[in-house]
């Protein structure tokens, strides 16, 4: 693993950083690191704890989750400009999945402590990054809803549909998130 610097030109290509002024882009460049991982290297381990936000700049990563049968299930393949680690970045909880380099990858890393310093300075860059991350998470939730609905339609068991409806109701009305 090695580090290099990140140019403003590259950061402007990343959808997670859309809408930043030149000054805000400079603030994010100042707290970012570009890191390299070789194929097979684990970047995040399920159950581990780190508070980094990652963006794939080059190469591909694979997101996996250890299944109850002892095998890893591939959840997603991440390509350039996809981000990961945001759940643990914004909420201090163990990683829900593992991410490993599928090829040689170049990643952008922002550490939570560096981000917190921007927040303390009332930096618009920090707030725009949070807003853009929320947009990505909302899009993922929308896709998850569509996927679950499709799975439920394929099931003939009405019990699963009822359980999903109850879960969604609890999620939106009772949980204090």
Can you tell me the mean pLDDT for 160-168?
Answer: 68
Q: Where are the alpha helices (DSSP H) in the chain?
A: 8-11, 22-31, 86-90, 112-120, 124-154, 158-173
pLDDT digits (tens, 9 = 90+) for 61-99: 999 999 888 899 999 999 999 999 999 999 999 999 999
Domains and CATH numbers, the chain: 3-173 (2.60.120.10)
Which residue, chain included where needed, has tokens 């049968």? 69
Sign of CA dihedral 119, 122, 128, 130: positive
pLDDT for residue 114 is more than 50: yes
What is the pTM assigned to this prediction?
Answer: 0.80
CA distances from 147 to 64, 103, 135, 140, 151 (A): 18, 28, 19, 10, 6
| CB atoms closer than 10 angstroms to residue 99 | 26
The neighbouring-strand residues paired with 56 are: 107
Q: Which is higher by pLDDT, 151 or 61?
A: 61
Length of the chain, in residues: 177
| CB atoms closer than 10 angstroms to residue 96 | 13
Sign of CA dihedral 139, 106, 89, 42: positive
């Amino acid at each position: 693993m090695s580090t290099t610097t990140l140019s403003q030109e590259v950061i402007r290509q990343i959808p997670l950083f859309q809408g930043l002024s030149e000054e805000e882009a400079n603030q994010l460049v100042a707290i970012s690191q570009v890191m390299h991982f070789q194929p097979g290297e684990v970047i995040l381990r399920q159950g581990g704890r780190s508070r980094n936000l990652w963006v794939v700049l080059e190469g591909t990563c694979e997101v996996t989750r250890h299944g109850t049968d002892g095998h890893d299930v591939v959840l997603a393949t991440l390509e350039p400009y996809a981000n990961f680690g945001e759940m643990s970045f914004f909420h201090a909880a163990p990683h829900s999945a593992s991410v490993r380099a599928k090829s040689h990858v170049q990643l952008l890393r922002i550490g939570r402590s560096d981000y917190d310093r921007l927040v303390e300075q009332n930096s618009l860059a920090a707030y725009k990054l949070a807003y853009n991350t929320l947009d990505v998470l909302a899009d993922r939730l929308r896709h998850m809803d569509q996927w679950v609905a499709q799975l439920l339609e394929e099931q003939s068991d009405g019990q699963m549909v009822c359980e999903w409806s109850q879960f969604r109701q609890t999620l939106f009305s009772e949980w204090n998130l």
